[in-house]
Amino acid sequence: MKQKLLQHAEIPPLHATGLHTRYDVHPLWKEADPQAFLAGHGHEFIGYVTTARFGVSEAMLAALPNLKVISSFGVGTETLPLAAAAARGIEVGYTPEVLNDCVADTAFGLVIDVARRLSAADRFVRHGGWLKGPYPLATRVSGKRLGILGLGRIGQVVARRASGFDMEVRYHNRSPRPDVPYPYEASLMSLAAWADFLVVVIAGGPETSKLVSAEVLRALGPQGFLVNVSRGSVVDEDALVQALEQGVIAGAGLDVYADEPRVPERLLALEQVVLLPHLASATRETRQAMADRVVQNLDAYFSTGKVHSGVSTTG
Q: Which residues are catalytic?
A: 231, 260, 278
Handedness of CA 37, 43, 45, 46 (dihedral sign): positive
Cα distance between residue 271 and residue 98, in whole Å: 33
Say if CB 278 and CB 1 are below 8 A apart: no
SS (H, E, C) the chain: CCCEEEECCCCHHHHHCCHHHHCEEEEHHHCCCHHHHHHHHHHHCCEEEEECCCCCCHHHHHCCCCCCEEEEECCCCCCCCHHHHHHHCCEEECCCCCCHHHHHHHHHHHHHHHHHCHHHHHHHHHCCHHHHCCCCCCCCCCCCEEEEECCCHHHHHHHHHHHCCCCEEEEECCCCCCCCCCCECCCHHHHHHHCCEEEECCCCCHHHCCCECHHHHHHHCCCCEEEECCCHHHECHHHHHHHHHCCCCCEEEECCCCECCECCHHHHCCCCEEECCCCCCCCHHHHHHHHHHHHHHHHHHHHHCCCCCECCCCC
Question: How many Cα atoms occupy the beta-carbon half-sphere of 152 within 13 Å?
Answer: 15
